[in-house]
Amino acid sequence: MVDVGAKDVTERTATAEAVISMLPDTLRLILDGGHKKGDVFAVARIAGIQAAKKCSDLIPLCHPLMLSSVKVELEGIEADSSVRITATCKLAGQTGVEMEALTAASVAALTIYDMCKAVDRGMVISHVRLLEKAGGKSGHYKRSD
């Protein structure tokens, strides 16, 4: 692992997203709360939060962090039959939280796939990307597209 001991403790945040596309009937099943496995968004939200907290166990050389906040939001978009997942992680520390946010969004999307694969095996996870990060020596980054 990179030695971050000499770095200043600063407030750091990162927001990432993932999109999972599916059949319109699958999205409707999720949004109507009719899935036999339960509330898909609630389970995916908890999975994303847990994933952010376990990021250093999943990604080699990733620092274990004391996150002060993890927020996972899910939005069903009927126009293109998808779910947009946004994950934001925060802490006061010596290294960034981009990987935690990306992991949270990814695992939330994977959880939706897992819960819904019996009704729609053709789902596609895409647009896993960092949207914004702030804090630390490299400063502020915001995706422009």
CB-count exposure of residue 73 (10 Å: 0-12, 13-18, 19+)? middle
What CA–CA distance (Å, rounded) separates 119 from 23?
9
Pairing mode of beta strands 10-21, 82-93: antiparallel
The active-site residue out of 57, 114, 120, 145 is: 114
Is 114 one of the annotated active-site residues of the chain?
Answer: yes
**Residues with catalytic function:** 114
